[in-house]
Chain A
Amino acid sequence: MMQLAARVEPLLNVDNLVVEYGLGNKTVHAVSGVSLAVARGETLGLVGESGCGKSTLGRAVLQLRRAKSGRVLFDGEDLTAMEGEALRKMRRRVQLIFQDPIASLNPRRRIGDIVAEPLIIAGVKDAAERKRRVHEVLSAVGLDPDLVVGRLPHEFSGGQCQRICIARSLVLSPEFIVCDEPVSALDVSIRAQILNLLEEMKARFGLTLLFIAHDLAVVKAVSDRVAVMYLGRLCEVGPSEQLFANPAHPYTGLLLQAIPVPDPDVRPAESVAAGEPPSPIAPPSGCRFRTRCPRADQRCSAEIPELREIGPGQFAACHHPLT
């Protein structure tokens, strides 16, 4: 196992994880040997474009999608080896927030019941205790419990629904939350509210986060370290500031250049990003980014680049890194 987080004892340790889907008689190579570690209290941002496997990785961490091989160590225990009751017990400590807050709330149930549900599943039998916990988390996310518990999801806006989802994810006092594109469906003015709220909740409840998003600026706003994923593999991992200031992998560089900057004095770079990502059904040999990479040569098609340390804590999987 590589020491991707140079810390003692990470809370989450993903080791050489492989996840594949069957598609007819073909195989989708969604996650192909990803290793990463998240220290307790840290936010690791995971970025990449659609189809790169970032959501699959998030789900495989929570065992919502079983891996073909590799291990997911959470607080020292291997989740991939767990089943049934043991896994259910473990799940109280890990939670998930989805992209579409409206679709992830049952439209026929009242907010109070939706937020209390995890408590019932976890076996909290005392109704007064459940009510106390529900009120506590709803207040924490900035909603007035007395006003919202009796209402239905359709009475709330997208931003408010995401607050409710966050409250639900907090009700079991988890240690670790996978946030899968939690602000992508929200408007700019609401997005900032929710990002600030996630930061507050992290500090208040001592959470560790895996924050998955396609927007690099959003990821940087909340992450201590960032991992960049392309077509099922990690390209680069490093401390946020360092990675954004000195990207080592050409794909990270390309992503940074492609972002539209809200400043008219910054002229958009002319189509730096040639071509489109290949299919994960038949990924290219060697480095998977080589078909779009201006630096690619013979070696890139023959030899899979391993993640290696480029700077302090910064790792890149590239034969010809930018720095």
Chain B
Amino acid sequence: MSAPLLTIEDVAVELPTPRGNLRAVDHVDLSLEAGRTLGIVGESGCGKTMLSRAVLQLLPKKAKLTGRVMFDGQDLVRLPSESLRRLRGRDLAVVFQDPMTSLNPVLTIGTQLMETIQEHLELDAPAARKRSIELLAAVGIPAPEQRLAQYPHQCSGGMRQRIAIAIALSCEPKLLIADEPTTALDVTIQAQILDLLAREQRRRHMAMIIITHDLGVVAGRADEVAVMYAGRVVERAPTQALFKRMHMPYSEALLAAIPKLETAPHTPLPAISGRPPDPTRPLKGCSFAPRCRYAASRCHEAKPDLKSAEMPDHLYACFYPIQMAEGIGA
């Protein structure tokens, strides 16, 4: 195993709100090696996007960040803003959910691509243009030369996301963060974009983080999955191991709540009752305890640590893990 490209150490993010401090990310540790894909899964408000913003150092100004984000040997939290700016867009790239808002509506696609390339790589205009055309072709855009002169509104949602990916890939990043890259897209286009990301990742040996609310998106595409709930990673494991045996009741409940194609119509879905806790009012015990059908008194009193038992790389934060082999567990 090589040294990780990215290590997130004890990262916490707090946002001041009129109702008190909101703990968006609650002491998260994660790591990722080159060429690997990490899926971060969770529902809205679980802190998955804030965590990615902490890696990118793109948090809201008022946010308070503690912990370390080690990327390629440097702590991004302590890096001067000028060095950060040079790193972002080159070694550290991002694709957002909504390509219409991440692209500039008044600049042509060519301008936006060439701007990024010339900012980070020493290329003259004709070379940058040539590279832009190659990139658009690589992400599957027909007639790339004509596209350069067009504006984002002249492209479909799927095309725009391809362009956003071309910009993100333009400087050969070491890490690509894709934050809900296909949520705004239709299902047939979603499959195309996920294939494209996987193909480019293999070719470039990039590390990739896919952030999504959809367990289906990470199941076939990520090497490792981290499930987040109320700001914390509550379970983390290699994808195969996680789907084979989920130890944290929240992960299990989340998977069960998804309607499945093989289930007969009118079968009641195993829903999770209640809703996530108020992030400005942290609970003393496990955040999932009020909704958990396995919860005991201990779960309301103390927070379980994220730790492993059977397999060293399968971590979970639960006092009473489920689907354990006999004789192991709490």
Chain A contacts to B: CB under 8 angstroms: 49-50, 157, 159, 187-193, 195-196, 199, 214-218, 220-224, 240-241, 244, 254-273, 276-277
Our pick among A220, A240, A255 for the contact of B188 (Cβ within 8 Å) is A255
- Distance between Cα atoms of A224 and B190 in the complex (Å): 27
Q: Lowest 10 CB-CB distances: which A-B pairs, in order?
A: A260-B216, A273-B188, A192-B271, A49-B186, A189-B272, A192-B269, A187-B43, A192-B257, A221-B259, A217-B259
Contact B186 A214 (CB under 8 A): yes
Our pick among A199, A221, A262, A272 for the contact of B219 (Cβ within 8 Å) is A262
Q: Counting chain B CB atoms within 10 Å of each CB, which of A191, A220, A241, A259 scores highest?
A: A220
The count of A-to-B residue pairs whose CB atoms sit within 8 angstroms is 137
Contact A266 B220 (CB under 8 A): yes
B260 interface contact, C-beta 8 A: yes
Contact A255 B187 (CB under 8 A): yes
Chain A residues with Cβ below 8 Å from B269 are 192, 195-196, 221
Contact A49 B188 (CB under 8 A): yes
Chain B residues bordering chain A, tally (CB within 8 A) = 45
Chain A residues with Cβ below 8 Å from B159 are 276
* Known contacts A189-B254, A268-B195, A276-B156; is-contact A259 B261 (Cβ 8 Å): yes
Instruction: Name which residue of chain A comes closest to B267, CB basis.
Output: A221
Instruction: Name which residue of chain A comes closest to B271, CB basis.
Output: A192
Chain B residues with Cβ below 8 Å from A159 are 275
Instruction: Name which residue of chain A comes closest to B270, CB basis.
Output: A192
- Distance between Cα atoms of A196 and B266 in the complex (Å): 9
Instruction: Name which residue of chain A comes closest to B198, CB basis.
Output: A268
Instruction: Name which residue of chain A comes closest to B189, CB basis.
Output: A276
Instruction: Name which residue of chain A comes closest to B221, CB basis.
Output: A268
Chain B residues with Cβ below 8 Å from A187 are 43-44, 213
Contact flags B211-240 to A (C-beta < 8 A → 1, else 0): 001111101110000000000000000011
Our pick among B188, B239, B253, B268 for the contact of A254 (Cβ within 8 Å) is B188
Contact A273 B191 (CB under 8 A): yes
> Distance (Å) between the CB of A160 and the closest chain B CB?
8
Contact A256 B255 (CB under 8 A): no
Contact A189 B220 (CB under 8 A): no
B263 interface contact, C-beta 8 A: yes
Instruction: Name which residue of chain A comes closest to B195, CB basis.
Output: A271
B265 interface contact, C-beta 8 A: yes
Contact B220 A273 (CB under 8 A): no
- Distance between Cα atoms of A256 and B270 in the complex (Å): 23
Contact B257 A259 (CB under 8 A): no
Chain B residues with Cβ below 8 Å from A191 are 257
Other A-B contacts than A49-B187, A214-B187, A264-B219, 6 sampled, CB-CB below 8 A, are: A49-B188, A189-B272, A193-B271, A271-B195, A273-B191, A276-B156
Q: Counting chain A CB atoms within 10 Å of each CB, which of B194, B255, B266 scores highest?
A: B266
- Distance between Cα atoms of A159 and B270 in the complex (Å): 16
